[in-house]
């Protein structure tokens, strides 16, 4: 390859580019995340540069090791594509042809292609179409079994002429969304099931920083459930970075409610108790919302009547990213983010063990609130406060 050329990576972003007043803020969030994730891989020789509509990662000492870099940054929210590429200071078609042949040839393997050129530097003597035609013809002549398809190509080879020239392919799709933490913080009610970690992932993808809270009920559930939830938290950190887990002792609250609430209404009161505690943690952590894994109609406690009956217990808005999804869609995401196999480990959480066989699915909100007011006077308020103040925070 031309000695003036070196391997780089281009990171593209999507909807961030449409944000007018906040665009610079979002760009900085993504760039800081890239730098944080690769900082231990070098001693200052790798640069992350913001260009128009994308970021450029390069090693100032030579070729970038993209196989080492990509796994570190592929899960960054806000990025839509990671492009293996070549950067060159060369400005001649002869040099471009040499670079294109060496870089693009291994990616053809008998498939169709087209060359797409953007000539931002209008001082270059050829037009974008002329550059594409010349390079396409050269590749076609020098790569056996290749063919040009301008309408439905297997691979699009991209060339950009700026102050430097760039050759790249859109190799790996990114997560998209908004930069993690850019929208504020939310308390995630994280159980050991399939749904809540997926809800956390989807909220995080929209820029919500996660504060996971787990409600633990020994001796009715084992410490292996805590380990399971902690593993779910670790799976989410591939996208979020390190997040601490708040473990709330919930046994006393559950036993009190079990003794004082009709069994068919128990699930509603348990959920309301969790929302009271989660709201208190949110206030302490300066969070802006709560996040749950509810999906409409999936179980009796997730009917619209049931959802309405628990809402007033929350002091903040409740995000329910799974609301309109079916179980198949949720499982599909869980498999992709590698939480599914953890969630199906055979250790039941507190919600599963204390649920009624036939829970009420059309509770009356006013009735629930009147009953709860009496329970608060009977000692529930003190138990909720104690559970909130004695919870553990661990990484």
- pLDDT by residue for the chain (395 residues), tens only, comes to 555 799 999 999 988 877 777 888 999 999 999 999 998 876 668 899 998 889 999 998 889 999 999 999 999 999 999 999 999 999 999 999 999 999 998 888 778 999 999 999 999 999 999 999 999 999 999 988 889 999 999 999 999 999 899 999 877 999 999 999 999 999 999 999 999 999 999 999 999 999 999 999 988 888 889 999 999 999 999 999 999 999 999 999 999 999 999 999 999 999 999 999 999 999 999 999 999 999 988 887 788 989 999 999 999 999 999 999 999 999 999 999 999 999 998 866 655 556 666 778 899 999 999 999 999 999 999 999 999 998 777 65
DSSP code string of 101-135: HHHHGGGTTT-EEEEEEEE--TTSSS-HHHHHHHH
d(CA 94, CA 98): 6
Pair of tokens at residue 38: 């690769």
* Superfamily holding 184-394: HUPs (3.40.50.620)
Which residue matches tokens 């070098």? 42
Residues of the chain with CATH 3.30.2130.30: 5-173
**Contacts of 245 by beta carbon, 8 Å cutoff, 6+ apart:** 190, 212, 213, 214, 229, 230, 233, 393, 394, 395
The per-residue pLDDT for 21 is 79
Cβ-based neighbour number of residue 97 at 10 Å:
17
Write down the pLDDT at residue 300.
73
Q: Where in the chain is the domain with CATH 3.40.50.620?
A: 184-394
CA distance 257 to 349: 17
Q: What is the pLDDT of residue 268?
A: 94
pLDDT at 176: 94
Instruction: Give 92's Cβ-side CA count (13 Å radius).
Output: 5
Q: Do 17 and 79 meet the contact criterion of CB atoms below 8 Å apart? A: no
Q: What are the tokens at 259?
A: 């003794």
Query: Considering just the CA atoms, what is the radius of gyration of the chain in Å?
Result: 27
From 247, 253, 252, select the one nearest 272 (Cα to Cα): 253
DSSP per-residue codes, 265-333: GHHHHHHHHHHHHHHHHHHHHT--EEE----TTSSGGGSHHHHHHHHTT-SS-EE-TTTT--HHHHHHH
Cβ(290)–Cβ(185) below 8 Å:
no
Predicted confidence at residue 350, as pLDDT, reads 56
Give the pLDDT score at 204: 98
Yes or no: say if 180 and 251 are a contact pair by the CB < 8 Å rule. Answer: no
Q: Structurally, what CATH architecture does the domain formed by 5-173 represent?
A: 2-Layer Sandwich (3.30)
86: left (phi over 0), alpha (psi -120 to 50) or beta: beta
């Amino acid at each position: 390859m031309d000695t003036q050329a070196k391997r780089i990576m281009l990171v593209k972003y999507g909807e961030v580019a449409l944000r007018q007043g906040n665009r610079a803020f979002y760009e900085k969030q993504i760039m800081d995340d890239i730098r944080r994730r690769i900082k231990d891989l070098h001693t200052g020789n790798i640069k992350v540069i913001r260009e128009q509509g994308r970021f450029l990662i390069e090693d100032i000492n030579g070729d970038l090791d993209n196989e080492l870099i990509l796994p570190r940054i592929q899960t960054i929210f806000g990025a839509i594509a990671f492009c293996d590429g070549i950067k060159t200071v060369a400005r001649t078609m002869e040099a471009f042809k040499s670079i294109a042949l060496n870089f693009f040839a291994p990616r053809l393997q008998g498939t169709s292609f087209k060359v797409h050129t953007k000539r931002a530097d209008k001082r270059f003597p050829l037009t974008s179409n002329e550059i594409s035609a010349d390079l396409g013809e050269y590749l076609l002549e020098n790569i056996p079994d290749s063919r040009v398809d301008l309408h439905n190509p297997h691979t699009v080879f991209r060339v950009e002429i700026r102050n430097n020239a760039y050759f790249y392919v859109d190799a790996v799709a990114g997560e998209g969304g908004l930069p993690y933490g850019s929208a504020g913080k939310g308390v995630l009610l994280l159980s050991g099931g399939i749904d809540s970690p997926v809800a956390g992932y989807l909220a995080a993808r929209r820029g919500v920083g996660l504060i996971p809270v787990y409600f633990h009920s020994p001796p009715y559930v084992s410490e292996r459930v805590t380990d399971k939830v902690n593993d779910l938290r670790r799976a989410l950190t591939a996208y979020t970075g390190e997040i601490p887990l708040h473990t709330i002792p919930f046994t006393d609250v559950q036993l009190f409610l079990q003794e004082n609430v009709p069994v068919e209404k128990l699930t509603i009161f348990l959920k309301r108790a969790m929302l009271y505690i989660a709201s208190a943690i949110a206030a302490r952590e300066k969070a802006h919302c709560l996040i749950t894994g509810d999906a409409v109609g999936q179980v009796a406690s997730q009917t619209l009547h049931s959802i309405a009956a628990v809402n007033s217990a929350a002091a903040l808005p409740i995000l329910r990213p799974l609301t309109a999804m079916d179980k198949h869609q949720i499982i599909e995401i869980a498999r992709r983010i590698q939480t599914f196999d953890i969630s199906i480990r055979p250790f039941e959480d507190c919600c599963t063990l204390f649920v009624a066989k036939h829970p009420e699915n059309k509770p009356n909100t006013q009735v629930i609130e009147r009953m709860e007011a009496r329970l608060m006077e009977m000692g529930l308020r003190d138990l909720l406060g104690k559970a909130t103040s004695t919870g553990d925070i661990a990484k």
